[in-house]
């Protein structure tokens, strides 16, 4: 018989009051310490602090050192190689990149646990906070949106998963079978509709609340949930709400989209915040803890001494992960996309050398050049280690203090999702207009006269180029049914790698899930 193990990720009724996951100027609350299971949040300030704990958990899910949901999703696509210092550097990431992922992979296990932590926290807020005024109603709405998003990520990556909307109160309730994802999508839709009815619009947010969820974010999440279920008509209705809103538009300068200058800006719909407020040094950074900076930006920066003179690009050396594949470079080239979008996304070796950079390759004892691991002649500029995006003042170590926010949903993505939904719903005319808005910023020729099939392929290409290194490619290929063909060279096995494995720890601890309930091939 299995042990009745209670995961930390499902501890009921813990309202975590955590350090805010946002820039200090965006928060006037001081959410320190914890509320125990016996203490009910009484004041409105305490209630708001509970939702700040939720944002901190979301920050952790996507930024937890070497176990980031964001980076894992990128590596599962075909635009980036794990790279780093070689095949032995962070093997869990290497295995995701090479489709050698197994049920004991600590990264996919952490992704599972992280989203269930957020679900647990959200459930606690929804259960325990009385909607007695507008402040509390908003906190509950945010918790519902967080729960919906966490479940969306889980079903997208793992398929059917255990489903909790109320936290267990006795041990037996922790053990649940996998719930069909259609049933979970139904709750996702309900949660997001509830949230939309309460959350403020983006323009209504105070300056110290820019990191908090909005009506527009919930609408985009709902549209995306519909899109993944191929409910095309419902999807474009939700996306159209954002398109019609004065709160959203494309950033004029594509290279600014991922930098501090555009945080919570015109293009931002939903982003995860990071800060350098703590000014970490090597002795204060809590590896594996709830640090507020984005350590994965450092992980993904070009690795020295292979790349040198990076200062000509305004970049400082990183640790070499997430190097572009040759495939994404070819895709840009064949699309004739060599303007501002390309120039802010990747750079070829030839272009790097021409800009004044240099490459120092390793050699063996006989003087032969040793190819760099996973290097395919391109550097990544999107989410790169820009010196302007970190803090090295007052003893802070630059490598540990990147403030770069992950943009999980931005307006360009909304336009392309809307275009896909309209096209599949038989309205390519409206669809092509939204694709052209994205192409116009990239300084590409506008499309015209395409039928549904040709436009479908154009939208796929546009998403590949516009959203490169943003974690969209792998789930896109899976939902389109294109993964087996596009990812075959990377080791993708049809019938197996469309989903990640249910973690071994879950199977060992959950009496309602046996090995035969595992996803195929694991």
Closest by Cα among 427, 381, 413, 465 to 220:
413
Give the per-residue pLDDT at 99: 97
| pLDDT interval class at 137 (50, 70, 90) | very high
DSSP 179: B
Give the per-residue pLDDT at 8: 31
Average pLDDT for residues 278-299, to the nearest whole number? 92
Residues 397 and 270: their CA atoms lie apart, in Å, by 28
Give the per-residue pLDDT at 32: 33
Contact 466, 258 (CB under 8 A): no
Q: Exposed, middle or buried, 248 (CB in 10 Å: 0-12/13-18/19+)? A: buried
Compute the mean pLDDT over every residue in the chain, rounded to the nearest whole number.
91
| pLDDT interval class at 479 (50, 70, 90) | very high
Question: Which of 7-11, 294-298, 366-370 is predicted most confidently?
Answer: 294-298
| pLDDT interval class at 1 (50, 70, 90) | very low
Could you tell me if residue 285 is left (phi over 0), alpha (psi between -120 and 50 degrees) or otherwise beta? Answer: beta
Give the per-residue pLDDT at 5: 31
Cα separation values, 137 from 27, 124, 142, Å: 19, 14, 9
pLDDT in tens, 426-453: 999 999 999 999 999 999 999 999 999 9
Give the per-residue pLDDT at 291: 85
| pLDDT interval class at 368 (50, 70, 90) | confident
Residues 257 and 251: their CA atoms lie apart, in Å, by 7
Give the per-residue pLDDT at 21: 36
Query: Which range has the worst mean pLDDT, 7-16, 297-306, 386-395?
Result: 7-16
Average pLDDT for residues 399-424, to the nearest whole number? 98
Token pair 């350090």: residue: 19
Give the per-residue pLDDT at 484: 98
pLDDT in tens, 31-66: 333 334 455 688 999 999 999 999 999 999 999 999
Residues 172 and 18: their CA atoms lie apart, in Å, by 29
Residues 517 and 323: their CA atoms lie apart, in Å, by 35
Average pLDDT for residues 377-396, to the nearest whole number? 95
Query: Which range has the worst mean pLDDT, 15-24, 234-243, 395-404?
Result: 15-24
Domains and CATH numbers, the chain: 16-245+478-517 (1.25.40.390)
User: Does 371 score more than 90 pLDDT?
Assistant: no
Q: What is the pTM of this model?
A: 0.92
| Partner residues linked to 184 by β-bridges | none
Give the per-residue pLDDT at 30: 36
User: Does 292 score more than 70 pLDDT?
Assistant: yes
Average pLDDT for residues 222-231, to the nearest whole number? 98
* 420/2: higher pLDDT: 420
Query: Which range has the worst mean pLDDT, 71-85, 145-159, 172-186, 354-368?
Result: 354-368
Q: What token pair was written down for 512?
A: 């309602």
pLDDT in tens, 450-474: 999 999 999 999 999 999 999 999 9
| pLDDT interval class at 477 (50, 70, 90) | very high
pLDDT in tens, 110-124: 999 999 999 999 999
Give the per-residue pLDDT at 362: 81
Cα separation values, 97 from 9, 100, 182, Å: 26, 8, 28
Percent of the chain with pLDDT over 70: 92
Q: What token pair was written down for 307?
A: 């790349």
Contact 130, 174 (CB under 8 A): no
């Amino acid at each position: 018989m299995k042990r009745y193990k209670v995961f930390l990720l499902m501890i009921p009724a813990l309202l975590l009051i955590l350090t805010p996951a946002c820039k200090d100027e965006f928060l006037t609350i001081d959410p320190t310490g914890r509320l125990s299971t016996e203490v009910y949040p009484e004041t409105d300030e305490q209630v708001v602090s509970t939702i700040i704990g939720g944002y901190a958990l979301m920050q952790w899910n996507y930024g937890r050192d070497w176990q980031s949901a964001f980076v894992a999703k990128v590596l599962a696509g075909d635009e980036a190689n794990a790279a780093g210092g070689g095949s032995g550097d962070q093997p869990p990431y290497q295995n995701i990149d090479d489709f050698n992922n197994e049920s004991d992979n600590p990264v996919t296990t952490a992704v599972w646990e992280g989203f269930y932590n957020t679900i647990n926290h959200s459930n606690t807020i929804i259960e325990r906070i009385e909607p007695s005024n507008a402040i509390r109603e908003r906190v509950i709405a945010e918790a519902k949106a967080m729960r919906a998003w966490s479940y969306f990520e889980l079903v997208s990556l793992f398929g059917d998963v255990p489903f909790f909307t109320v936290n267990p109160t006795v041990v037996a309730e922790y053990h649940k079978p996998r719930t069909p994802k259609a049933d979970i999508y139904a709750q996702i839709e309900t949660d997001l509709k509830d949230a939309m009815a309460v959350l403020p619009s983006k323009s209504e947010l105070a300056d110290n609340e820019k990191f908090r969820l909005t009506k527009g974010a919930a609408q985009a999440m709902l549209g995306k949930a519909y899109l993944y279920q191929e409910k095309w008509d419902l999807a474009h209705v939700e996306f159209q709400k954002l398109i019609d809103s004065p709160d959203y538009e494309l950033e004029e300068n594509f290279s600014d989209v991922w930098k501090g200058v555009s945080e919570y800006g015109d293009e931002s719909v939903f982003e995860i915040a990071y800060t350098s407020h703590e000014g970490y040094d090597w002795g204060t950074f809590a590896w594996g803890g709830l640090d507020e900076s984005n350590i994965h930006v450092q992980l993904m920066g070009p690795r020295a001494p292979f790349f040198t003179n990076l200062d000509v690009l305004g970049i400082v050396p990183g640790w070499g992960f997430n190097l572009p594949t040759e495939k994404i470079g070819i895709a840009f080239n064949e699309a004739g996309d060599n303007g501002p979008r390309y120039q802010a996304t990747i750079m070829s070796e030839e272009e790097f050398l021409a800009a004044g950079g240099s490459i120092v390759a390793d050699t063996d004892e006989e003087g032969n050049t040793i190819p760099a691991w996973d290097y395919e002649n391109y550097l990544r500029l999107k989410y790169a280690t820009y010196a302007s995006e970190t803090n090295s003042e007052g003893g802070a170590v630059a490598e540990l203090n990147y403030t770069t926010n992950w943009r999980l949903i931005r307006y360009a993505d909304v336009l392309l999702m809307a275009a896909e939904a309209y096209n599949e719903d038989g309205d390519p005319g409206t669809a092509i207009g939204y694709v052209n808005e994205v192409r116009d910023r990239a300084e590409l020729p506008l499309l015209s006269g395409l039928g549904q099939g040709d436009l479908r392929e154009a939208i796929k290409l546009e998403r590949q180029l516009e959203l490169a290194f943003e974690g969209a490619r792998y789930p896109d290929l899976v939902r389109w049914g294109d993964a087996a063909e596009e990812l075959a060279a990377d080791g993708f096995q049809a019938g197996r790698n469309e989903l990640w494995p249910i973690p071994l720890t879950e199977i060992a601890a959950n009496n309602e899930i046996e090995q035969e309930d595992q996803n195929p091939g694991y």
